[in-house]
Amino acid sequence: MADPTYNRYATEGRAFDRGYFDEGLRQHMLRVYNYMGAGLVLTGLVAFLVSSSPSMMAAIFGTPLKWVVMLAPLAFVMVLSFGINRLSFASAQMVFWAYCGAMGLSMAAIFLVFTGASIALTFFVTAATFLAMSLYGYTTKADLSKMGSFLMMGVIGILIAGLANLFFQSSALHFAISALGVVIFTGLTAYDTQRIKEEYAEGYGHEAQGKLALMGALTLYLDFVNLFQFLLSFLGQRDE
pLDDT of residue 169: 83
Query: For residues 236 and 113, is the Cβ–Cβ distance under 8 A?
Result: yes
Average pLDDT over all residues of the chain: 87
Note if the pTM is more than 0.85: yes
SS3 238: strand
pLDDT of residue 203: 54
pLDDT of residue 165: 83
Q: State phi, psi for 238 to the nearest 5 degrees.
A: -70, 140
The proportion of the chain whose per-residue pLDDT surpasses 70, expressed as a percent, equals: 89
State pLDDT tens for residues 40-57. 999 999 999 999 999 999
Question: With bands split at pLDDT 50, 70 and 90, how would you rate the model's confidence at 19?
Answer: confident
What is the total residue count of the chain?
A: 240
**Single-letter amino acid, residue 205:** G
Beta bridge partners, 114, equal: 238
For the four alpha carbons of 31, 88, 195 and 200, in that order, the dihedral sign comes to negative
